[in-house]
């Protein structure tokens, strides 16, 4: 390389291209919109072991896990795709290794549903929900020597595809949707940029626990907030936190009660 640089007067050093994500760093709102549009239009191919960085990105907080919609991947990594909350289309490559724990060979005999459910890699797929498209591509089976064996192999992959599709196209469970909607990780590691409210940490819960044990200073919340006085409030004076982060957590968890609390207090002040 050094000799080439010395002998070639046309050689020009160029800086390594900056990450695409740098172009999104205009504002929080622009970052979220641009990242969502960019990842939503990027069908990603995830091979093992050549896509180690991509696999790592799918398991960590970031724009891949948050906004990826289309993916082609091996069955082996499908167990980590539960973090991809926006995933809508999945294509998997099926090899004969994915029919492990089998009672017979997939290129020799047809598999029924019970036999398919015994395949070792199938749980990775059956746990997914909320997809709009799923397909399975049979890889070349070196043990299928004849045309009939090859046809049997492909037929078993089609049966597996139909079984998986009947599960993964079901809507996501309500509990999962609520957890995703209420807790959003930073889009990048070390970043404070989130697509929604910040995730409560153990520090928040410790602060709230301490705050509820400490008498709150007199404020608007001290006026007419006891249950026996208002009859409509679901919170007591003892619930008033004295730390900002604890109050933030209280708003996240009991927003409606806090608003009724404030309204009762203001009504009591107007009546004095």
Residue 89 lies in a domain: yes
∠ CA 129-135-137, nearest 5°, is 135
Q: Is residue 158 predicted with pLDDT exceeding 90?
A: yes
- Mean of per-residue pLDDT scores for the chain: 74
| 144 and 226 fall within a common domain | no
Same domain as 215, residue 149: no
Q: Render pLDDT for 189-209 as a digit per residue (tens, 0 to 9).
A: 566 666 555 455 555 455 545
194 in a structural domain = no
Does 220 lie in the same domain as 177?
no
In a shared domain, residues 24 and 133: yes
pLDDT confidence tier of residue 226, bands split at 50, 70 and 90: very low
CA distance 209 to 131: 40
Last residue of a domain, one of 182, 210, 242: 182
E strands in 84-179: 89-94, 133-138
170 and 220 in a common domain: no
Q: What is the tally of structural domains in the chain?
A: 2
195 located within any domain = no
Q: Are residues 257 and 124 in the same domain?
A: no
Task: Judge whether 138 lies within some domain.
Answer: yes
pTM flag (> 0.75): no
Range of the domain at 247: 202-271
pLDDT in tens, 14-73: 888 888 888 888 888 888 888 889 988 988 888 665 567 777 778 777 788 888 999 998
pLDDT: which is higher, 175 or 122: 122
Long-range contacts, stretch 154-160, CB < 8 angstroms, 24+ apart: 155/110, 156/99, 156/106, 156/107, 156/110, 156/111, 156/116, 157/94, 157/106, 159/110, 159/111, 159/116, 160/94, 160/111, 160/116, 160/119, 160/122, 160/136
**Does residue 154 belong to any structural domain of this protein?**
yes
Query: What are the backbone angles phi and psi of residue 264, rounded to the nearest 5°?
Result: -65, -40
Q: Do 148 and 43 fall within a single domain? A: yes
Average pLDDT over residues 110-132: 85
Q: Find the mean pLDDT for residues 205-220.
A: 48
Residue 14: per-residue pLDDT? 81
Residue 58 and residue 30 share a domain: yes
Are 170 and 207 contained in the same domain?
no
How far is Cα 163 from Cα 157, in angstroms, rounded to an integer?
Answer: 10
Res 88 pLDDT > 90: yes
Q: What is the DSSP letter of 46?
A: E
Does 192 reside within a domain? no
Residues 6+ apart with CB under 8 A from 192: 186, 198
Please tell me whether residues 263 and 207 are part of one structural domain: yes
38 plus 155 within the same structural domain? yes
My answer on whether 33 and 166 are in the same domain is yes
């Amino acid at each position: 390389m050094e000799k080439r640089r010395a002998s070639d007067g046309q050689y020009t050093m160029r800086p390594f291209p900056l990450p695409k994500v740098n172009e999104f760093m205009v504002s929080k709102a622009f970052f979220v919109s641009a990242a969502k549009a960019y990842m939503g239009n990027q069908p990603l191919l995830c091979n093992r072991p050549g896509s180690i960085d991509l696999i790592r990105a799918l398991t960590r907080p970031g724009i891949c896990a948050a906004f990826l919609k289309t993916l082609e991947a091996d069955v082996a990594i499908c167990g980590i795709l539960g973090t991809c909350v926006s995933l809508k289309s999945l294509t998997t490559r099926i090899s004969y290794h994915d029919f492990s724990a089998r009672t017979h060979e997939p290129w020799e005999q047809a598999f029924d549903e019970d036999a398919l459910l015994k395949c070792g890699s199938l749980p990775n797929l059956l746990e997914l929900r909320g997809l709009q498209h799923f397909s399975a591509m049979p890889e070349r089976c070196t043990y299928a020597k004849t045309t009939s064996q090859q046809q049997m192999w492909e037929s078993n992959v089609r049966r597996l595809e139909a079984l998986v599709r009947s599960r993964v196209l079901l809507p996501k469970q309500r509990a999962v949707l609520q957890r995703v909607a209420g807790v959003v990780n930073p889009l990048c590691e070390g970043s404070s940029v989130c697509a929604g409210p910040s995730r409560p940490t153990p520090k928040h819960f410790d602060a709230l626990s301490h705050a509820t044990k400490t008498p709150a200073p007199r404020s608007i919340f001290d006026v007419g907030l006891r249950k026996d006085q208002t009859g409509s409030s679901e919170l007591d004076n003892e619930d008033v936190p004295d730390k900002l982060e604890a109050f933030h957590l209280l708003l996240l968890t009991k927003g409606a009660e806090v608003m009724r609390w404030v309204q009762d207090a203001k009504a009591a002040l107007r009546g004095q």
